[in-house]
Structure 1
Amino acid sequence: MSDGKLVHAVCNVTEAQERVSDEMLLRNVAEGDKAAMHVMFARHHVRVFRFIQSIVRNAAIADDLVSQVFLDVWRSANKFESRARVSTWLLSIARFKAFGALRGKTHETIDQDDLGGIVDDADTPDVALDRKETNAILRACIDRLSPAQREIIDLVYYHERSVVEVSEIVGVPCATVKSRMFYARKHLAKMLVNAGFEAAAV
């Protein structure tokens, strides 16, 4: 499967396909089923893109790395071991690709898309503006955390991963994940108060 075909592999997914588990899809992918690969890509590419972008801070690089992640999935689906969810395995691959790209980068990152800045169409302009400003402040505070703490916050709160799943993705013990999350939340709360948020709300 070429890069070009994979990037444009988002296809119409039937209700029956939507009910197929990730594990079943991956087994089919391992057998060379391109339709299953298309469904896998359609189901997970946005989450993978957002996760990578939160690390590399560059939309163009993230987009390229998403293609690489799913090419790896296509090539190594038969190596998946069911010790973790497929989505957790995907984020592990994505993390490896993202940090590999960071190590090889020689230029500054240029994109600062706000992952939390999606506006609800039902909001009034004032509410939407307030939410956008709040999200911008929150993201700015998160960006000031250490890379290790920022990664934990992103995985737990933006990608809704459990402590066990974060441990699998990052490759550290659960106790370390909990410790990083505790200190990250503590530092984040302090920064938010300094930014003008009420302590009780934080």
Structure 2
Amino acid sequence: MSANLAASDEILIARIAQGDKLAMRVLYGRHHVRVYRFGLRLLRDEQVAEDLISEVFLDVWRQAGRFEGRSAVSTWLLAITRFKALSILRKRKDVELDDDAAAAIEDGSDDPEIATQKKDVGNVLRRCLTALSPDHREIIDLVYYHEKSVEEVAEIVGIPENTVKTRMFYARKKLAELLKAAGVERGWP
């Protein structure tokens, strides 16, 4: 099924390169949620992530003729999304990109109600993911949420495959520690 989906995406890109607006709408419908979620995880701002979708698909419209098919269309889309999101983050003067400092801030709001809510494993996992470094969070996001291979992640992020594997190892280790500290006995699969 994934081979048919990839072939279908490639056909859509070829049609988009010829100016086919219907093909563009189909590609958008198929991938805009994935692009939005990935952008949101990088930018942490819903409105900016919404704007990012438009920019990504405008690039697809303009660059479809340059798509060479060396990777899956979804990999190409996420690479464009990542590049644009990082450009936005670099332009922000007011955003501090130091997640380690943010993670070090104590959470003094653990009253009984909050403690009960933290038992929800999904919330705990999301909280633990935000405590990872941006590099580690990005790798986890691409591999587990977007189901990308090590090779595809290396292409999207622009780093060697061995670096992806190393980051994955340390990200999983850190995530397991965070989950255990949060009271979730079973760590990352």
Q: Same fold (TM over 0.5)?
A: yes
Which residue does the alignment assign to 1:120? none
* Residue identity matched to 2:88: A
Output the CA distance in 2 between the equivalents of 1:148 and 1:200.
20
Larger helix percent: 2
Among 56, 73, 81, the residue aligned to 2:60: 73
Which residue of 75, 78, 90 maps to 1:91?
Answer: 78
Number of residues of Structure 1 aligned to a counterpart in Structure 2? 166
- Structure 1 position 50 matched with structure 2 position 32: no
Deviation at 1:130, TM superposition (A): 7.6
Mapped contact 2:43–2:49 kept (Cα < 8 A): yes
Q: Residues 94-113 of structure 1 correspond to what in structure 2 (within 5 A)?
A: 94-107=81-94
Quote the Cα distance in structure 1 between the aligned partners of 2:12 and 2:50: 23
Structure 1 residue ranges without an equivalent (≥5): 1-17, 110-128
**Aligned in 2, Cα 1:150/1:200: closer, same or farther, shift over 3 Å?**
closer
Give, in angstroms, the shift of residue 197 of structure 1.
1.4
For residues 169 and 73 of structure 1, the distance between their equivalents in structure 2, rounded to whole angstroms, comes to: 15
User: Structure 2: any 5+ residue segments left out of the alignment?
Assistant: 97-115
Which amino acid letter does the alignment assign opposite residue 167 of structure 1?
A
1:142 aligns with 2:110: no
The RMSD of aligned alpha carbons is 2.3
SS in 2 for 1:21: helix
Whether 1:183 aligns to 2:179 is no
CA deviation string 1:37-64 (max 9, x = no partner): 1111011000000000000000000000
Deviation at 1:201, TM superposition (A): 8.0
Q: Tell me, what secondary structure is at the counterpart of 2:93?
A: coil
Q: Residues 11-41 of structure 1, C-alpha deviation per residue, up to 9 Å, x if partnerless?
A: xxxxxxx897000000000001111111110
2: CA distance, partners of 1:32 / 1:132: 51
Which residue in the other structure is 1:123 paired with?
none
Secondary structure in structure 1 of the residue aligned to 2:82: helix
TM-score (normalised: structure 1): 0.76
SS of match in other structure, 2:68:
coil
Amino acid at match of 1:154: D
Aligned to 1:163: 150
Offset from partner CA, 1:69-101 (integer Å, 9 cap, x none): 000000010011111001100000000011111
Q: Which of 1, 4, 9 matches 1:22?
A: 9
Relative distance call for 1:196 and 1:162 in structure 2 (3 A) is same
Deviation of 1:106 after TM superposition, in Å, equals 3.2
Query: Displacement, 1:133?
Result: 2.3
Deviation at 1:198, TM superposition (A): 1.5
What's the CA shift for 1:108? 5.2
1:196 is aligned to 183
Q: Which amino acid counterpart does residue 79 of structure 2 have in structure 1?
A: S
Supply the AA of the counterpart residue of 1:84.
S
> TM-score if structure 2 supplies the norm length?
0.82
